[in-house]
Amino acid sequence: MAQTARPNSADLKVSFEFFPPKSPDMADQLWQTVKALEPFQPDFVSVTYGAGGTTREPTLDTVGRLIRDTSLATAAHLTCVAASRQEVRQVVDEFKARGVKHFVALRGDPQGGVGTRYTPHPDGFENAADLVRGLQDMGEFEISVSAYPEKHPESINDAADIDMLKRKVDAGATRALTQFFFDNDLFEQYLNRVRSAGITIPVVPGIMPIQNLAQLKRFASMCGASVPERLDHRFEGTDGDPQARAEVAADVAAEQIVDLAKRGIEEFHLYTMNRAPLTIATLERVGLGPKSRRNVSGAAA
């Protein structure tokens, strides 16, 4: 394992993202992951929700079990694609009945998939800012939203992208969780634009430990995220060695977090892909062990 020199005096906070399982085997994997990550005491965990309600019941069930059977503060993702305001309200009421007090409010991908034109439901919410405003009328919730260091694929330019984030904040959002990225300079430039626009809420970097580089590249190409060539060099020669590949992946993610911490960032949202080992290896490299919120001064073990 490569050593990672950590910054001084940073009190790092983490949150985790899960997705609802699609099969009994995937459910077993998810709950094993939850059990393994719970001792790390994240600030919260979130569970994704398919656009158009495609994972409605699995998301409801997963969120309900997390709240009922674990100590984890749990947020539910919520989208408004292909749903009327009344249908969204019904879903919110179902989440509330399970104890949800925190939503990650998203517009969701167009029904035709990424790259197709988005058309709001005629009786629905126009966009994520409208959804946030609607949630404010449905109860007292903590509301997180999405942010895009490399611009949302549908935004015409950076200014329009920042304007949409500001509209979500003005509607009541209190935290932004970013799309994953691998170039910290791009994130810092984005954060400077956000702050220059008068947006003061926490903008939490989304960190994606790389489970499979080829798959990640395909996913990144659909959502407008770039994958630097340096990552090809880092993973070179590991195709036939899963252990070596995992070590490199954990090093890359930990180095990204450490560098961001040196730039003053203290909160991180990890996309776990419902797998614990790589997430744990990343956390341990930056000094966040189970049941601890360690000071990150000194060198990694």
Summarize pLDDT for 87-120 with one digit per residue, the tens. 999 999 999 999 999 999 998 876 555 555 677 7
Separation CA 187–CA 206 (nearest Å): 10
Within a domain: residue 139? Answer: yes
Please return the burial class of 218, using the count of CB atoms within 10 Å of its CB with bins 0-12, 13-18 and 19+: exposed
Position 81 pLDDT exceeds 90: no
Q: Which of 17, 150, 154, 267 is catalytic?
A: 17
Within a domain: residue 8? Answer: no
In the chain, which ranges are continuous DSSP H helix? 24-37, 56-69, 85-97, 128-136, 158-171, 184-196, 213-223, 229-235, 242-262, 277-285
Within a domain: residue 199? Answer: yes
Helix/strand/coil for 48: coil
Position 9 pLDDT exceeds 50: no
> Residue 190 belongs to a domain with what CATH number?
3.20.20.220
pLDDT category of residue 155 using cuts at 50, 70 and 90: confident
DSSP 299: B
Within a domain: residue 183? Answer: yes
| Structural domain boundaries, residue 165 | 13-285
Q: What's the confidence (pLDDT) of residue 112?
A: 54
Within a domain: residue 274? Answer: yes
Q: Assess whether 17 carries a catalytic annotation.
A: yes
Within a domain: residue 74? Answer: yes
Contact 40, 283 (CB under 8 A): yes
Q: What's the confidence (pLDDT) of residue 117?
A: 67
- Count of domains in the chain? 1
Within a domain: residue 1? Answer: no
Within a domain: residue 300? Answer: no
Residue 234 corresponds to which amino acid? R
- Determine the length of the chain: 301
Contact partners, residue 84, CB within 8 Å, separation at least 6: 121, 123, 124
